[in-house]
Amino acid sequence: MRYLAISILLLLLVAPPALAAEGGGTMPVYSIQVRAVPLAELEDGMATYRRLRDEGYLAYASRVEISGEPWLRIAVGVFRSRGAAAEFGRAFGAAEGLEHFVAPAPVRVLPAADEREFVVTPSALWVRGSGGVREVFAFDAEAPNGSGLPAAILPVLSSDGRTLAAIYNCRLLVAAIDGDAAVDATDAPGGPCVTTVSDQNYGWRPGWSPSGDYVAFLDQALWEYEIGLWLARSDGGGLLCLACNRHGQSAVRWFVWHPSEDRVLFVEGSSLGTIPVGGGLFTADVDGTIRTIIPADPSVGWEQYEEIAGPLRIEDGFLHFRRVRWLDDNYIETSITEDRLPIGAL
C-alpha cells in the first residue's frame, strides 16, 4: 500500500510545472580544460585551481571517473560555444602559458538583471558582468566536488533576475546580483537543515514571490518525514516557518505564491504515507496566519474522502490543482481529476 501511495505521488509530481521551476538555462556551455590529475595528486591540481582563481579567472575543479579511476579536472571560463571558448583560450594561453583545450563544462549559466549572469560551477557560485567575475560563494574551498553540482543545489533565479536561491550543505543560500557574498537565510535560531536529495525526493524548488522580495522553500523532501514550509526575505533575513508539522507528522507537499504576494498557497497532508498522496489546500499569509481552503478529512469514509494534489499552478486567473479520490475501501484504485478555483476567491 505504501508503495502504491508513493507511486501515485511520483506520478503526480511528473508534470510540466516542474520544468517551469527549473529557473535557468541548461544550454550547453564550454570551458578550456587546463589540467587533469589523478585524485591522488589532488593537492597539485587544487593549487593550480586556487592560483587561477586568485588571479581573477573563473576557474573551477571537478572530480570525474575516467576508466574507473577518480581524476581531478581544472577548467577555466564559461562560454556558449566552442569557438568562443577557443577565442578565450587563445588569450589565456598567451597570458598564462598553460596548454589547454576546449571541453564541455559542468556549469550552469543563469542570465540575470543588468546584463549580468549567475554562473554555478562545481566549485563556486559566481556573478559576472562587464566589470569582470566575482566569486560569491565557494561550495567547498578545499575539496573538489562531484559532477552532481551544479544541478544538485537547485539554483532558482528571482523573476526580476536580481537574486538567486540555492540549497547547499543544509542551508538555503540567497545571492544578490550586487552583493559580495551569498547569505545563509537559514542561519537563525530554529532554522532548518534543508535537504534536497533522496531516492524518492520531491521535485520541489525554492519559489520566489512575484516581485522577488521573498523566497519560500521546503525544509526537506523525504517521503514520510515531516516537511515544513518556510519563508525568508531576499536579503536573507526574516526567516519564518509558515507551516511546520502543525498536526504532528504533517508534510507540505506543494506550494505556489499568490499573485498578491502576501500569501502562499500550499497542500499539506499527513506524512504517514500509507494512503495520503496530498492533503488539504491552505493559504499562509507572510506573517504566518493560516486559513483552510479545502480540508482533507478521512473521517468522512473512503467514499467521500478526497485529497488535493499538486503541482499547484496559477494561470488565467485560476489556481489549478488536482483532486484525488479512492474507488475502493482498500484505497488502491484512484480517480484523479483536474480542478481549479478563481484566484480572486482565495
Partner 1 sequence: MWRLPGPCGLLALLALLAVESTSAAEGGDPSTVYSIQVQAVPLAEAEDGMATYRDLRDKSYLAYAYRVEINGEPWLRIAVGAFHSHGAAAEFGRAFGVAEGMDHFVAAAPVRVLPGAGERDFVVTPSALWVRGGAGVREVYAFDAEGPNGAGLPADVLPDLAPDGRMLAFAHGCRLNFAPVEADAAVITTDSSDGPCTPYEGELPWQLDWSASGEHAFFLDVPYSEYPVSLVMARLDSGEVRCLICNEGGDRAVRWFVAHSSEDRVFFVGAQAYGMAISGSGLFSTNMDGVVRALAAPGEHEEIVGPLSIEDGYLRYRRLRWLDFANSWDSEVTDERIPLDAL
Under the criterion CB under 8 A, does residue 128 sit at the interface with partner 1?
Answer: yes
The whole-angstrom separation of Cα 244 and Cα 229 is 6
Residue 257 vs residues 26, 160, 211, 315: alpha-carbon distances, Å: 24, 15, 11, 12
Among all chains, which residue has been given the C-alpha cell 519564518? 240
Instruction: Choose the stretch contacting partner 1; rule: CB under 8 A; options: 95-103, 254-262, 269-277, 311-319.
Output: 95-103
The nearest distance, CB 213 to partner 1, in angstroms, is 25
Selected from 129, 179, 210, 259, the binder of partner 1 by CB under 8 A is 129
What gap in Å lies between CA 49 and CA 44, rounded to an integer?
9
Q: Closer to partner 1 by CB, 12 or 76: give it.
A: 76
Among 16, 131, 189, 344, binds partner 1 (CB under 8 A): 131
CA atoms within 13 A on the CB side of 171: 15
Positions 47 through 66 that interact with partner 1 (CB under 8 A): 56-58
CB of 101 to partner 1, least distance (A): 7
- Distance in Å, CB of 53 to partner 1, minimum: 12
Gyration radius (Cα) of the chain, Å:
23
Least Cα distance to 190 among 233, 154, 228, 139 occurs for 228
**Footprint of partner 1 on residues 4-33 (CB under 8 A)?**
30
Count of residues touching partner 1 (by CB under 8 A): 38
In the bound state with partner 1, the residue whose beta carbon lies nearer, of 177 and 182, is 177
Q: Is 132 in the site for partner 1 (CB under 8 A)?
A: yes
- With binding defined as CB under 8 A, does residue 96 bind partner 1? yes
The answer to whether residue 83 forms part of the interface with partner 1 (CB under 8 A) is yes
| Closer to partner 1 by Cβ: residue 109 or 136 | 109
Residue from the set 47, 66, 95, 327 that interacts with partner 1 by CB under 8 A: 95
Closest distance to partner 1 from the beta carbon of 111 (Å):
7
Q: Please report whether residue 124 would count as binding partner 1 according to CB under 8 A.
A: no
Q: Is residue 107 close enough to count as binding partner 1 by CB under 8 A? A: no
Closest CB 57 distance from partner 1, rounded Å: 7
Closest to partner 1 by CB, 3 or 101: 101
| Residue 194 · residue 170 · CB < 8 Å | yes
Q: Which of residues 239-298 bind partner 1 (CB under 8 A)?
A: none
Interaction of residue 179 with partner 1, rule CB under 8 A: no
Q: Please say whether the dihedral angle defined by the alpha carbons of residues 67, 119, 103 and 154, taken in this order, is positive or negative.
A: positive
Q: Alpha-carbon distance 47 to 36, whole Å?
A: 12
Cα dihedral 298, 244, 286, 288, rounded to 10, equals 80
Q: Which of 14, 54, 67, 115 binds partner 1 (CB under 8 A)?
A: 115
The CA distance from 299 to 29, in Å, is 54
Binding residues among 210-249 for partner 1 as defined by CB under 8 A: none
86 near partner 1, judged by CB under 8 A? yes
Q: Which three cell numbers stand for residue 265?
A: 498557497
Which parts of this chain interact with partner 1 (CB under 8 A)? 30, 56-58, 77-96, 101-102, 109, 111, 115-117, 119, 128-133
